[in-house]
Chains A and B, each alone.
Chain A
């Protein structure tokens, strides 16, 4: 079976800065990838490139063997969902309306959301603990509630590959764990795939099975998590010594 998303010889840059050079990546169904790197190294740019929202300098991206550039945005959106770091809402919108936007890629021009779509959106809201807030204005939500609403919208979109840009942002510990638990469980049970940008190494160790490190100047390394998440790599990645302990069978990372 072909990988869900493949990058071939991918070269990406932003503002004359090289993010990756000749990157080959294959994200298979059931896998959870973590992307690690310093601030401003280009993690988000790479994520947008993989979603087809930023053009690479060279190389190609394939969604199950079909080049992304040959597919319509609508088709891509049925397979790839993105959680952005920032959401903007200059106009009023209720929580339910916002979550329902996730059904957009499946509806035709004249369609209105069906009962089924409503049910999906309400279920997604319940999953992130926001049932009962459906008719609230999204503008009145707290930072963490906004993040959960964005995740509910992504769940409503029900895509095969989820690209998450710092999903734990603004979330309290309880929601970090319950939401990531859920996403990872969905990924494994339903043959989806996850790609997570994050700065919390302990969350990465807990949830990811593969990792991709961006060192800057286009240099990267990737592979299975235990081989990649080493003290040596992490010291190079962040320019700061980091110690790895094993507590109760779990690996814990502590900066020196």
Chain B
């Protein structure tokens, strides 16, 4: 029963979160005015809603969906419930790319391009190093990724240390995750849709993989190809999310866990549900980030972390029962 109503209710929740994001901000737009705008009328508010808030809300939705989906995939790939999209150092690589371009004074497309390039570089590095002599175990992949992430962390600290004060604020915002420059949601939304479609036929294989590689092999899963497909998909989703909004934390870790508490671990439901729930949660969090201290805007990563930490601790408490 729970399972049957899950996806429809998450779809409704997604629409609600988007409407919320369009209505609230430094100026609150009331329901009749919003309705008018959505019907193609409404003077002043029209540009505020359609040109400013809609692209940003859609970007937030895409980013949240990408992160939650990537997190769910990483958790099964590494068979570790504590994995998140950043655990293998992809966000670290992206951050180094983004900070370097900020340091050199390049913005816009350069910043986006170098962040994405850094993410891809990190992905290739971990993939190659973890391969070693052909064997590709979860623990080896995990260790390689975690150590590479630590390496990127050191480079990030180095760049922060040598950067002029005037640029530090922008860099910190990027590192905490910030949607204020995300004005083109289409690449993110397209990749999210493609990601969900690519994962669904693999989902039952993932259910089996979650029970161990030998068990999966004995039940007819070609384990090695499946693992690198999932690594590739999860990494690309993360790379796109990080390029859109920097390292927004906790969405990718907490959303799959929340869903597991409600519907269990069937990936056929969990993966699309994670995309929808992650999207709605980040849309709501970004709306909060724009309104809590308005006209000042907070980085959305602060909100997700402030919400995510207590939720995660609560889940951790439960898991020991």
- Could you tell me if B264 and A97 are in contact, using CB atoms closer than 8 angstroms? yes
Chain B nearest CB from A157 CB (Å) reads 7
Residues in A neighbouring B266, C-beta threshold 8 A: 97
Q: Tell me, yes or no, whether A175 is within 8 Å of chain B by CB.
A: no
Chain B nearest CB from A59 CB (Å) reads 20
Task: Tell me the bound Cα distance from A93 to B265 in angstroms.
Answer: 6
Q: Which size class do A's interface residues fall under? A: 35 or more
Residues in B neighbouring A102, C-beta threshold 8 A: 219
Q: Tell me, yes or no, whether A82 is within 8 Å of chain B by CB.
A: yes
Residues in A neighbouring B75, C-beta threshold 8 A: 91
Q: Which of B79, B204, B264 is the one whose CB lies under 8 Å from A107?
A: B204
- Could you tell me if B264 and A93 are in contact, using CB atoms closer than 8 angstroms? yes
Q: Tell me, yes or no, whether B47 is within 8 Å of chain A by CB.
A: no
A137, closest chain B residue (CB)? B264
Q: Tell me, yes or no, whether B215 is within 8 Å of chain A by CB.
A: yes
Residues in A neighbouring B222, C-beta threshold 8 A: 72-74
Q: Tell me, yes or no, whether B42 is within 8 Å of chain A by CB.
A: no
A76, closest chain B residue (CB)? B220
- Could you tell me if B211 and A101 are in contact, using CB atoms closer than 8 angstroms? yes
Q: Tell me, yes or no, whether B212 is within 8 Å of chain A by CB.
A: yes
- Could you tell me if A104 and B264 are in contact, using CB atoms closer than 8 angstroms? no
Residues in A neighbouring B80, C-beta threshold 8 A: 90
- Could you tell me if A89 and B211 are in contact, using CB atoms closer than 8 angstroms? yes
Chain A nearest CB from B140 CB (Å) reads 17
Of B208, B217, B221, which is in contact with the most chain A CB atoms at under 10 Å from its CB?
A: B217
Q: Tell me, yes or no, whether B207 is within 8 Å of chain A by CB.
A: yes
Q: Tell me, yes or no, whether A143 is within 8 Å of chain B by CB.
A: no
Q: Tell me, yes or no, whether A48 is within 8 Å of chain B by CB.
A: yes
- Could you tell me if B220 and A90 are in contact, using CB atoms closer than 8 angstroms? no
- Could you tell me if A87 and B211 are in contact, using CB atoms closer than 8 angstroms? yes
Residues in A neighbouring B220, C-beta threshold 8 A: 72-78, 104-105
Of A75, A88, A90, A97, which is in contact with the most chain B CB atoms at under 10 Å from its CB?
A: A90
Q: Which of A48, A89, A107 is the one whose CB lies under 8 Å from B214?
A: A48
Residues in A neighbouring B166, C-beta threshold 8 A: none
- Could you tell me if A91 and B265 are in contact, using CB atoms closer than 8 angstroms? yes
Q: Tell me, yes or no, whether B260 is within 8 Å of chain A by CB.
A: yes
Residues in B neighbouring A127, C-beta threshold 8 A: none
Task: Tell me the bound Cα distance from A73 to B217 in angstroms.
Answer: 7
Task: Tell me the bound Cα distance from A85 to B75 in angstroms.
Answer: 24
Residues in A neighbouring B208, C-beta threshold 8 A: 101, 104
Residues in A neighbouring B211, C-beta threshold 8 A: 87-89, 93, 98, 101
Residues in B neighbouring A72, C-beta threshold 8 A: 220, 222
> What string of 1s and 0s marks CB contacts (under 8 Å) between B195-217 and chain A?
00000111011011011101101
> What string of 1s and 0s marks CB contacts (under 8 Å) between B264-283 and chain A?
11101000000000000000
> What string of 1s and 0s marks CB contacts (under 8 Å) between A61-97 and chain B?
0000000000011111110111010011111111001
Chain A nearest CB from B208 CB (Å) reads 5
Of A74, A91, A101, which is in contact with the most chain B CB atoms at under 10 Å from its CB?
A: A91
- Could you tell me if B260 and A91 are in contact, using CB atoms closer than 8 angstroms? yes
- Could you tell me if B264 and A94 are in contact, using CB atoms closer than 8 angstroms? yes
Residues in A neighbouring B221, C-beta threshold 8 A: 73-74, 104
Chain B nearest CB from A162 CB (Å) reads 11
B81, closest chain A residue (CB)? A90
Task: List the 5 closest A-B pairs by CB distance, nearest first.
Answer: A77-B220, A105-B220, A109-B201, A74-B220, A91-B265
